[in-house]
Amino acid sequence: MLANASEKQLHQYLNTVGRNLAAQSSRPTLQWTFGALQDPESFDAVSAPGGYVFLTRGLLQGVDNEAQLAGVLAHEIAHITLKHALTRYGETQVAQCKVNSALKLRLDSLTDKVVDSIVANGFGKEDEFSADELAVHLLVSAGYEPQEYIQFLGKIPDSRRGFANHPRKADRIKRLVTLLETSKNPGEDFPELPAATQGLVKPPLPSGFAVVKTRAPQTH
């Protein structure tokens, strides 16, 4: 599974899946960087302004298939494109958020003050709800089954450091189920989606990792 993949293989895989999703967003040309943090005990994902998205090894252990992984990445992409960090932590702090070359290569620690603040405090409930909603649109546009993201949300531990401000996972799941039930096509009519999408690149699949990708990628 992904948690046992080599660092190089995992880095390549995350960046292919992540950039395919980011290509569906309102900021497809941002220099997106996706990576894994060497923390097998933590079940977390974090994003930072500039297009940086990181998942812990602990979270990767809980991902069953590519669609679930894509859901987590899409949620973090949504936080960036919706500028939640800018709104919550201020432009002055965010301007200090830089990922150095060592972090890009090793992806084993986060030291920036803004990222530390995000990890410690998280985002508010409305930010989480809106990121979930946009994540569904990105998933559909990229051809993933959004129900898999809902399945993944059910695995999130009820108590995690720095997530007191998060909505209950039951509320997040309920809202997404309602969204899918009431929307004929959740990939359409959303202002964050671009007028045209870029071609998807087939990622190198780690051994034993399942793909759940039953929808055809949308063209706008």
Q: What is the pLDDT of residue 153?
A: 94
Q: What is the domain partition of the chain in residue ranges?
A: 2-182
Q: Which phi and psi (to 5°) does residue 142 adopt?
A: -85, -5
Q: What is the CA radius of gyration of the chain?
A: 16
Query: What is the spatial distance between Cα 13 and Cα 198, in angstroms, rounded to a whole number?
Result: 18
The band of 40, judged by pLDDT with boundaries at 50, 70 and 90, is confident
pLDDT of residue 37: 84
Report the pLDDT value the prediction gives residue 126, as an integer from 0 to 100: 85
The DSSP line for 37-92 is ES-TT---EEEETTTEEEEEHHHHTT--BHHHHHHHHHHHHHHHHTTHHHHHH-HH
Phi and psi at residue 187, to the nearest 5°: -85, -5
DSSP letter (8 states) at residue 28: T
Window from 42-51, 74-83, 125-134 with minimum mean pLDDT? 42-51
What mean pLDDT is reported for the chain? 74
Q: What is the pLDDT of residues 169-202, one digit of tens each?
A: 999 999 999 998 887 666 554 444 443 333 345 5
More confident residue, 7 or 5: 7
Q: What pTM did the predictor assign?
A: 0.74
Predicted confidence at residue 21, as pLDDT, reads 96
Percent of the chain scoring above 90 in pLDDT: 37
pLDDT higher than threshold 80 for residue 148: yes
Per the model's pLDDT, the better-predicted residue between 106 and 44 turns out to be 44
Tell me what pLDDT residue 83 has: 83
What distance in Å separates the CA atoms of residue 185 and residue 199, rounded to the nearest whole number? 20
Tell me, what's the pLDDT at 125?
84
pLDDT at 209: 55
pLDDT in tens, 51-94: 989 898 889 999 999 999 999 999 999 999 998 666 554 544 44
Provide the 3-class DSSP secondary structure of residue 142.
Answer: helix
Distances (CA, A) of 68 to 97, 107, 135, 137: 28, 21, 11, 14
pLDDT range class, residue 210, cuts 50, 70, 90: low
